[in-house]
Amino acid sequence: MRLPFRHPARLLLATLLMAGCQSTGATAPVATGASAPGTATAAVQPVAQQPASFPEWLAALRAEALGQGIRPQTFDRAFQRVKLSDRVVELDGAQPEFTRQVWQYLDSAVNEKRVQDGRQKLQEHAALLSRITRRTGVPGEILVAFWGVESDFGKSTGNFSVIDALTTLAFEGRRAAYFRSELLAALRILDSGDIAPERMTGSWAGAMGQTQFMPTVFLRNAVDEDGDGHRDIWGSMPDVLASTAKFVLANGWRPGESWGQEVRLPDSFPYDQAELSITKPLSDWRRLGVRPVDGSDLGGEGSAAILVLAGHRGPAFLVRDNFRAIMRYNPSTSYSLAVAMLADRMTGKPGVRGPWPREEQALSRDERIDLQQRLASLGLEPGAADGIVGANTRNAVRRFQASVGEIPDGFATKALLERLRQRS
């Protein structure tokens, strides 16, 4: 076991005694979320950024927390039975394969049962949702869709101790400074009395409650909607939904506008323009022949982007600013489309109508890296060979597709990778 923390209660006692002998300005510098490795403090003590033991690290954390105004009794109660978790380290270090295609993600996230459950939740909380929508402009179905996708309406909120998870990641994880700031935020939540340490549970990464807020997001956006003196995103539905609405609004939600819609693209559509980063006035898309999937006219004003998440053989979506607001909750186009489609389905709108190329298998991470390396060897500039198919890689794929007479839609497939392999 790599984590040197066998007996939490005894080590904590020793740590707190040690901490009592230190001031906030102790000679051992403390790494905080605002400081980077190699700062001036390292000249005083070269190893200060990495304490020799967990008790020393915890003592420094206690000094920092108390220096930020967190009460000693809050800290001591939170860490009374703290445990470093091998499972959290394992999950943090795992390299996800991301082998699901977008349609597979949607099949799971927007299945018929979740749609029916969501409709029931809309009815069950109709008065509450109406009040929140009047105040914020965020539609009730969008809030319920976040709730459904994030935790299946509260069924899967995570059973990790948030303090244990964040302590492990702050001490041992790849992004220690980030998780240290989240841990200190979690302590401020406990110090405010919003939740007891025993009830502060969440994901292995510290996301909490029924719509999975990180502690810093909680501090900025959590709302005591039911007026009981506590911001409870674990058990109070008024607090859960009002807090989510505040967060979505802060992320740029535009009241009165839709997230977008599924559209049909003409045969002559310039697929190099189908990127989230490329926005045009709706009038420009109309001139290019973009139409709603039902064949009607593309009405309205403002700007939008076109997404083709499965190339020219899959459905196309015109997405507006509210789609980007959804993405600021979770920066994934598949996630954002799932929230949007679940909201639509709950209100009686159809799901995705265009066919997906379901025969296409996802590239593995190794295959994506191979793709990027081969594109780079041809001078097509795909960016870093990191296994992440972003805009640079899609543009490189488009350049290759155009060079071999294919529609340049940027969709990376096994067949395209095979063509690249045949070039070498």
Q: Please write the tens of the pLDDT for every residue from 188-221.
A: 999 999 999 999 999 999 999 999 999 999 999 9
Sort 17 into a burial class: Cβ within 10 Å, 0-12 / 13-18 / 19+. Answer: exposed
Q: Which of 143-147, 177-181, 282-286, 420-424 has the lowest mean pLDDT?
A: 420-424
Residue 286's pLDDT is 95
Residue 52's pLDDT is 62
Instruction: Indicate the angle between helix axes 391-403 and 414-423, nearest 10 degrees.
Output: 60
Q: Please write the tens of the pLDDT for every residue from 43-95.
A: 333 333 555 699 999 999 999 999 999 999 999 999 999 999 999 999 988 75
Residue 50's pLDDT is 55
d(CA 230, CA 244): 16
Per DSSP, what are the bridge partners of residue 281? 303
Task: Tell me the three state secondary structure of residue 220.
Answer: helix
Residue 299's pLDDT is 80
Q: Please write the tens of the pLDDT for every residue from 9-50.
A: 334 433 343 333 322 222 222 222 332 333 333 333 333 355
DSSP code of 199? G
Tokens of 23: 């001031």
Question: What percent of the chain is predicted at pLDDT more than 70?
Answer: 87
Residue 173's pLDDT is 75
Could you tell me which residue, 424 or 397, shows the higher pLDDT? 397
Q: Please write the tens of the pLDDT for every residue from 368-414.
A: 999 999 999 999 999 999 999 999 999 999 999 999 999 999 999 99
Residue 300's pLDDT is 82
- Which residues 6+ apart lie within 8 Å of 134 measured at CB? none
- Contact present, 133 and 139 (Cβ < 8 Å): yes
Q: Please write the tens of the pLDDT for every residue from 248-282.
A: 999 999 999 999 999 999 999 999 999 999 999 99
Parse the chain into domains and list their residue ranges.
8-92+169-197, 365-423
Task: Tell me the three state secondary structure of residue 304.
Answer: strand
Could you tell me which residue, 9 or 180, shows the higher pLDDT? 180
CB contact burial 334-363 (16+ within 10 A = b; e otherwise): bbbbbbbbbbbbbeeeeebebebeeebebb
CATH architecture of 365-423: Orthogonal Bundle (1.10)
Residue 209 — left, alpha, or beta (φ > 0 → left; ψ -120 to 50 → alpha)? Answer: left
Long-range CB contact pairs, 374-381, < 8 A, 24+: 374/417, 374/420, 374/421, 374/423, 374/424, 375/400, 375/420, 377/424, 378/420, 378/423
CA distances from 254 to 144, 196, 248, 381, 401 (A): 17, 35, 10, 36, 37
Distance of CA 168 to the CA centre of its chain: 20
Tokens of 133: 């929508």
Residue 97's pLDDT is 58
Residue 65's pLDDT is 98
d(CA 324, CA 329): 9
Q: Give ∠ CA 159-165-167 in degrees, rounded to 5.
A: 150
Residue 42's pLDDT is 33
Residue whose structure tokens are 């009592």: 20
Sort 198 into a burial class: Cβ within 10 Å, 0-12 / 13-18 / 19+. Answer: exposed
Q: Which of 256, 285, 353, 371 is CA-nearest to residue 314?
A: 353
